[in-house]
Amino acid sequence: MPGLVVVGAQWGDEGKGKVVHWLASQAHLVVRFQGGNNAGHTVVCGGKQFALHTVPSGILADKALSLLGNGVIVNPRALREEVEGLERQGVRVRGRLGISPLCHVILPTHLLLDGRREDAGQGIGTTRKGIGPCYEDKVARCGVRVCDYLDPPLFRELAKSHLRLHAPELARLMPLARARRELFRDYEALRAFLAPFIADASVLVEAALERGRRVLFEGAQGAMLDVDFGTYPFVTSSNSCAGGACVGAGVGPTRIGAVLGVAKAYTTRVGLGPFPTEIEGRVGRFIREKGGEYGTTTGRPRRIGWLDLVQLKAAARINGFSRLALMKLDTLSGIHPLRVCTAYRLRGRRVEGWPCSRRDAFDVEPVYESFQGFSGDLSGARRFSDLPEGARDYVRFVERSLGLEAAVVSVGKDREQTVLRRPGGAAGFWR
């Protein structure tokens, strides 16, 4: 049975955690394939709210084994805090989470470097979690992998090289002797914590697929934060599109059978960068508060915008979406009129594709189509016919525009507050 990839279709924070949690009830393996603890998935399950950062959302499903593929970068201290927090909430993690030994390690000095660049005006509004500096070291072939971190003599040698390489920047923050102490703080305890989790994710994924098991690949961030295809340079440092699942989990492309794109019924983004449909004023504030649009990782208020079909068409192309999950439709209830961007205008001419130029991405003006909107409480809807007519019209317009079925329509935070439009339940998404 081929694998199923779930990825964000916008700038992240689309509601992937809820979708993955729901699908994981029928999965045997859930594999995260890129990013670090800059990601934030909020999942409501059984009346409890769980904030996940590195651990896959599938950990909340009772039967699925969760894996961190080699494309993920791991902060040992942050991961330990997250695991302990989940266990305090009654979630069994140990024995159900595996970490590839090929994952790169986010060192304390990576966080220092990330913060310094942001404070010096050289940043892009990152989460300051050390993600960029860690991926930089990986690409420069001087990073520390989990398997290296677990080898004390080797780690000591790599730490020396790391400090020499970054000494010019680190010395502006603190004496290098202190930076070295930070690098080794709690090292033995963190090494002991990580060791039991080690598992070869690539081998486990291949074995599961050979046995006809359902494998779910979980992405972090979203298509427009992809380092190649996103709003560069205001992007993350990894490939957050569906193709990243192959490299980040160690699986061949012939093993991927379907891709589910997750998009909000409107648009949000965090941090700096172009955002053509951004809404200022009362309507934007209303959506932010009603939708709880604050970052899971940072708590920062998210920027709010109308749904952008130009952006979504670009995301569908680079990811090869099989179908769509349309989230937070309930948040738009009571807003009249609703607007959807169907094209851009750039210096007097109509543009229907996402611009590559960073200058053009800031300069485009959205061309909107308006809808009457809809009212009422959508949270009890379980069938498409339960939704108000205006909500159904809105969903159908998105489907026609993208040429994709909105197979999932979310009408609330809880997993059960979902309108499913495909037969076969969660298992049907692997077919």
* Of 21, 28, 41, 166, catalytic: 41
Collapsed DSSP state (helix, strand, coil) of residue 11: coil
- Report the C-alpha gap between 152 and 190 in whole angstroms: 12
Q: Which of 137, 164, 193 is the last residue of a domain?
A: 193
279 and 398 fall within a common domain:
yes
Q: What are the Cα distances from residue 6, in Å, to 27, 186, 263, 417?
A: 13, 35, 11, 19
24 and 96 fall within a common domain:
yes
* Of 13, 114, 226, 308, catalytic: 13
Q: What is the number of domains present in the chain?
A: 3
- Report the C-alpha gap between 207 and 28 in whole angstroms: 11
Beta strands per DSSP E along 9-52: 29-32, 41-45, 48-52
Over its length of 431 residues, how does the chain's per-residue pLDDT go in tens digits? 689 999 999 999 999 988 988 899 899 999 999 999 987 777 777 778 888 899 998 898 888 899 999 999 999 999 999 999 999 999 999 999 999 999 999 999 999 998 888 887 777 878 899 999 999 999 999 999 999 999 999 999 999 999 999 999 998 888 888 989 999 999 999 999 999 999 999 999 999 999 999 999 999 999 999 999 999 999 999 999 999 999 999 999 999 999 999 999 999 999 899 999 999 899 999 999 999 998 776 788 999 999 999 999 999 999 999 999 999 999 999 999 999 999 999 999 999 999 999 999 999 999 999 999 999 999 999 999 999 999 999 999 999 999 999 999 999 988 889 999 877 777 788 87
Q: Is 41 a catalytic residue?
A: yes
Task: Read off the CATH number of the domain in which 284 is found.
Answer: 3.90.170.10
- The radius of gyration of the chain's CA atoms, rounded to the nearest angstrom, is 21
Give the model confidence (pLDDT) of 227-267 as tens digits.
999 999 999 999 999 999 999 999 999 999 999 999 999 99
Say if strands 29-32 and 65-68 run parallel, antiparallel, or are unpaired: parallel
Give the model confidence (pLDDT) of 66-122 as tens digits.
999 999 999 999 999 999 999 999 999 999 999 999 999 999 999 999 888 888 777
399 and 349 fall within a common domain:
yes
Domain that holds residue 314: 263-430
Q: What's the N-to-C CA distance of the chain in angstroms?
A: 8
318 and 426 fall within a common domain:
yes
